[in-house]
Amino acid sequence: MSEIIHRSKTRPVKVGDITIGGSNELFIQSMATTKTHDVEATVAEILRLEEAGCQVVRVACPDERAAYAIGEIKKRINIPLVVDIHFDYKLALIAIEQGADKIRINPGNIGRREKVEAVVNACKAKGIPIRIGVNAGSLERKILEKYGYPTADGMVESALHHIKILEDLDFHDIIVSLKASDVQLAVEAYEKASKAFDYPLHLGITESGTLFSGTVKSAAGLGALLQKGIGNTLRVSLSADPVEEVKVAREMLKVFGLSSNAATLISCPTCGRIEIDLISIANEVEEYISHIKAPLKVAVLGCAVNGPGEAREADIGIAGARGEGLLFMHGKTVRKVPEDTMVEELKIEIDKLAQEYFEK
Ligand code: SF4
């Protein structure tokens, strides 16, 4: 397990039963794609997201039907529920009363001061935070006029404008996101924001694309920020099943040593020395370890020539040999296994190691 890299310290903010910011842990967030008023479909999707490792989930709240569904959805899920509201303070009040764990609304867009106060007071009474969501595509006209086009400074200025409205009402349970579909703009905005205030940051590259291109784009942008210790929650936005968003986010956290409850696969790219059907084995093992909650490193290698040695840091692995496989642990061969049972034997050994990890 690699060392957790230093994380920028932020103010801790409670969201349901988790605390975002303030510590080293970084939470995976996703968003339901269902119509929120369709409680059955929304709960089913959120439970699938939970199973995949999602730790915070957001739902859209475009109308009263959606707002009144929040209570029932809350009862049937196990992770904090964030309700996304645009402009309409009445929807915010209903969602809060229904038990939302956090609302995403920009106070500067709510309108008259009494309306903002009503939302802030309701959040204070229930002890729930507000996420300010700055988006490069919808910056305030005044800011756009000042900078000419969306810039990182303009995005941070927008965030500070919304933050000030809340701070003036003595409200500090704030989380901020500064999303842009332009990776470099988003990275710069988050970097500047992390220096401008100490509220937790929710990371995301918005409208990043399909499973393939969006994964690459998100990994590039969010990776740059994670490497710098910036970010307290993250969402990988994909035009795909949201379960894929969670899987990509988990993989990203593993890369940066920020996940202590997931196993990692090491597999070779194959070459002319290959002795087994590595690609299908690697996919099967990857699927299997996605359910393992211990930080094990599992290797699958095409041959034994460079195999075990190439994957010395792996806790366990198999390397192909002619008609068989070599099962190895920490770079040392433990035993030979027949090719047709090697994957099953590897799975059994992985389970044993995971068990030992939890008994330690
Ligand atoms: Fe080639 Fe063997 Fe290395 Fe895989 S482990 S890349 S098959 S030498």
Structural domains of the chain, count: 2
CATH number for 107: 3.20.20.20
- Predicted confidence at residue 2, as pLDDT, reads 44
Q: Quick one: 286 and 249 in the same domain?
A: no
* Ligand 1 touching residue 53 (CB < 6 A): no
Q: Contact, 329 vs 311, CB < 8 A?
A: no
Do residues 351 and 232 both lie within one domain?
no
- Residue 46 belongs to a domain: yes
Same domain assignment for residues 239 and 317: no
Pairing of the two strands 264-267 and 324-329: unpaired
Ligand 1 proximity of 274 Cβ (cutoff 6 Å): yes
Residue type present at position 23: S
In a domain, 36, yes or no: yes
Cβ–ligand 1 distance for 305 under 6 Å, the answer yes
Q: Which two tokens stand for residue 197?
A: 């205030």
Element (H, E) at 63: none
- For the chain, which ranges sit under pLDDT 70? 1-6, 24, 306-311
For residue 317 and ligand 1, the question of a CB distance below 6 A is answered with no
Which pair of tokens denotes residue 7? 């994380």
Residue 302 Cα to ligand 1 midpoint, Å, equals 5
Going from the Cα of 303 to the center of ligand 1, the distance in angstroms, rounded, reads: 5
In a domain, 5, yes or no: no
Q: Does 144 map to a domain?
A: yes
Q: Which domain holds residue 313?
A: 264-359
Query: What pLDDT is stored for residue 307 in this prediction?
Result: 62
- Are 110 and 82 in contact by the 8 Å Cβ rule? The answer is no
Domain boundary among 202, 230, 255: 255
pLDDT at 30 (0 to 100):
97
Q: Is the CB of 266 under 6 A from ligand 1?
A: no
Note if the pTM is more than 0.80: yes
pLDDT at residue 331 in the model = 78
- What is this model's ipTM? 0.99
pLDDT tens, residue by residue, 182-209: 999 999 999 999 999 999 999 999 887 9
Cross-strand pairs, 41: none
Does residue 2 belong to any structural domain of this protein? no
The residue whose CA is least distant from atom 1 of ligand 1 is 271
Would 316 be classed as within a structural domain? yes
- CA 342–ligand 1 middle distance (angstroms): 18
329 CA from centroid of ligand 1 (Å): 17
Domain shared by 41 and 94, yes or no: yes
In a domain? residue 1: no
Closest CA to 320 of 360, 272, 252: 272
Binding residues for [4Fe-4S] cluster: 268, 271, 303, 310
CATH number (domain holding residue 284): 3.30.413.10
What is residue 22's predicted lDDT score, i.e. its pLDDT? 87
Domain final residue pick, 255, 277, 307 = 255
Task: Check whether residue 204 and residue 274 sit in a common domain.
Answer: no
Question: Is the separation of the CB atoms in 13 and 129 below 8 Å?
Answer: yes
Instruction: Say if 355 falls within a structural domain.
Output: yes
Residues 6+ apart with CB under 8 A from 171: 120, 123, 124, 130
pLDDT (0 to 100) of residue 1: 41
